[in-house]
């Protein structure tokens, strides 16, 4: 695939992520904070996010698995996940966390387990999508091209 | 006007950037905040708790005492160094385990505190009016909602200016290329759009000029 095609593909793919609500404007902000002196900023932040979130999801699962569930603790983890997903622009993960917090308030284990599933799904989705995005970017750079500065033109 | 004549001067005095102490228990938030602040030409020190923040402030105090004992006889660079380390602004997350941002705010602002005059900005991902009021009443300069944007940092300009020891001295310009979001830029350019383009033309500064001393105190 030649460079122009790759760049087109990246643009289309990126656009779809925003259109589907998987990413929001905060991700764009991250891209805008990337420059020559911080060339890997987005990848770094996103990697931190996935490290962090995977741990949180495990902690949440463990907390929900207890004989007597500590909903405050679960809520605290979800709150953290909500915050970090908002900070990287992972909109659907964030929204799933908002719903999750409602379940925590209701102190409903079943409901919480369902919410956890939902969050995990969204998390998995955005992870795959971003991995694809970064791969596309790498291909372009490897082919000698540059990844255009992020902008929302739609 | 001062701006033009002092340009070379201020570039030399670039060292005198605002020093922000960022407090957040989340690594991601710290990284983001650090980037936002350096993009706005601030020197940043990150800590992950209120306790560490207080420790750091105390540490600076004791260092300052060391410097000031022979400040009069020391070379200008040393004097600048002492001023350089001083914290001009504290930005803290509200919800943190242990000492909350609110607790930290109270401690900094309390009667007799040597840090009373350092502006404190509280950040939170939750928009809770009572929380915001509480913080403002306790002396916070500003309450910012997360996730933070570059535009939010512009709101902090006046607070940083307030904390300058010598108000008439340089409004240090690190003149980043492409940074309309350079808050220090904006201070001087409030009134005139013309100045914007003038500045950029006058100083096509290379990145290296910007001091890259970001302290990231991570636990």
Give every CB contact of residue A51 below 8 A, 6+ residues apart in sequence. Answer: none
Count Cα neighbours of A64 within 13 Å in the Cβ-side half-sphere.
Answer: 25
The model's pTM is 0.76
* Contacts with A36 from chain B: Cβ below 8 Å: 207
Tell me the three state secondary structure of residue B77.
Answer: helix
Chain B contact for A39 (CB, 8 A cutoff): no
Alpha-carbon gap: A29 to the closest alpha carbon of chain B (Å): 7
Chain B contact for A2 (CB, 8 A cutoff): no
Asked if A87 and B28 come within 8 Å (Cβ–Cβ), the reply is: yes
Instruction: Kindly give the parts of chain B with pLDDT less than 50.
Output: 8, 10-12, 14-15, 83, 166-219
Alpha-carbon gap: B147 to the closest alpha carbon of chain A (Å): 5
Sign of CA dihedral B102, B108, B109, B113: positive
pLDDT of residue B172: 44
Which residue, B35, B214, B148, B42, is CA-closest to A35? Answer: B35
* Contacts with A59 from chain B: Cβ below 8 Å: none
Best residue in B22, B25, B28 to probe A by mutation, most A CBs within 10 Å?
B28
pLDDT of residue A151: 62
As a whole number of angstroms, the distance between CA B41 and CA B160 comes to: 12
Asked if A29 and B35 come within 8 Å (Cβ–Cβ), the reply is: no
Strand partners, B19: B43
**Using CB atoms, which residue from A29, A41, A84 is nearest to B28?**
A84
* Contacts with B27 from chain A: Cβ below 8 Å: 48, 52
pLDDT in tens, B27-53: 999 999 999 999 988 999 999 999 999
**Using CB atoms, which residue from B31, B149, B150 is nearest to A48?**
B31
Alpha-carbon gap: B164 to the closest alpha carbon of chain A (Å): 27
Which residue bears the tokens 């160094």?
B81
CB A62 within 8 A of CB A73: no
Instruction: Kindly give the parts of chain A with pLDDT less than 70.
Output: 149-154
B123: nearest CA partner in chain A = A83
Which residue, B152, B146, B198, B144, is CA-closest to B175? Answer: B198
pLDDT of residue A23: 97
As a whole number of angstroms, the distance between CA B173 and CA B41 comes to: 8
As a whole number of angstroms, the distance between CA B14 and CA B3 comes to: 14
Sign of CA dihedral B134, B135, B140, B143: negative
* Contacts with B125 from chain A: Cβ below 8 Å: 79, 82-83, 86
At how many degrees (to 10) do helices A71-88 and A91-106 cross?
160
| Pairing verdict, β B19-23 and B215-216 | unpaired
B212: nearest CA partner in chain A = A37
As a whole number of angstroms, the distance between CA A133 and CA B79 comes to: 49
What is the DSSP secondary structure assignment for residue B64, as one 8-state letter? H
Alpha-carbon gap: A49 to the closest alpha carbon of chain B (Å): 7
Give every CB contact of residue A18 below 8 A, 6+ residues apart in sequence. Answer: A24, A152, A154
Alpha-carbon gap: B148 to the closest alpha carbon of chain A (Å): 8
**Using CB atoms, which residue from A29, A33, A52 is nearest to B27?**
A52
Number of other residues whose CB lies within 10 A of the CB of residue A61: 14
Number of other residues whose CB lies within 10 A of the CB of residue A119: 26
Asked if A38 and B35 come within 8 Å (Cβ–Cβ), the reply is: yes
């Amino acid at each position: 695939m030649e460079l122009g095609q790759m760049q087109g593909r990246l643009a289309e793919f990126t656009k779809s992520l925003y259109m589907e609500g998987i990413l929001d404007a905060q991700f764009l902000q991250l891209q805008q904070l990337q420059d020559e002196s911080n060339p890997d900023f987005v990848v770094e932040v996103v990697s931190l996010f996935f490290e962090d979130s995977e741990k949180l999801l495990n902690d949440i699962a463990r907390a929900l698995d207890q004989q007597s569930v500590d909903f405050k603790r679960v809520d605290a983890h979800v709150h953290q996940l909500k915050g970090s997903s908002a900070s990287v622009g992972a909109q659907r993960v964030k929204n799933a966390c908002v719903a999750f917090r409602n379940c925590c308030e209701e102190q409903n284990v079943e409901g919480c387990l369902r919410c956890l599933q939902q969050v995990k799904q969204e998390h998995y989705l955005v992870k795959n999508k971003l991995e694809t995005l970064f791969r596309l970017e790498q291909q372009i750079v490897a082919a000698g091209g540059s990844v255009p500065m992020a902008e929302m033109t739609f | 006007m001062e701006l033009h004549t002092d340009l070379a001067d201020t570039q030399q005095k670039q060292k005198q950037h605002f020093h922000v102490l960022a407090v957040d228990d989340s690594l991601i938030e710290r990284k983001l905040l650090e980037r936002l602040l350096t993009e706005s030409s601030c020197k940043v020190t990150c800590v992950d708790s209120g306790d560490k923040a207080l420790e750091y402030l105390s540490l600076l105090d004791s260092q300052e005492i060391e410097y000031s004992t022979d400040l009069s006889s020391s070379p200008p660079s040393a004097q600048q160094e002492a001023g350089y380390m001083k914290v001009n602004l504290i930005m803290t997350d509200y919800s943190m385990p242990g000492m909350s941002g609110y607790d930290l705010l109270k401690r900094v602002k309390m009667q007799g505190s040597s840090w009373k005059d350092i502006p404190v900005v509280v950040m939170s991902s939750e928009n809770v009016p009572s929380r915001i009021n509480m913080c403002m009443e306790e002396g916070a300069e500003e309450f910012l909602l997360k996730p933070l944007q570059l535009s939010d940092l512009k709101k902090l300009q006046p607070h940083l200016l307030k904390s300058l020891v010598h108000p008439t001295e340089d409004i240090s310009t690190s003149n980043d290329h492409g940074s309309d979001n350079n808050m220090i830029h904006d201070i001087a350019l409030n009134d005139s759009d013309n100045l914007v383009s003038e500045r950029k033309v006058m100083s096509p500064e290379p990145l290296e000029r910007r001091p890259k001393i970001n302290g990231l105190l991570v636990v």
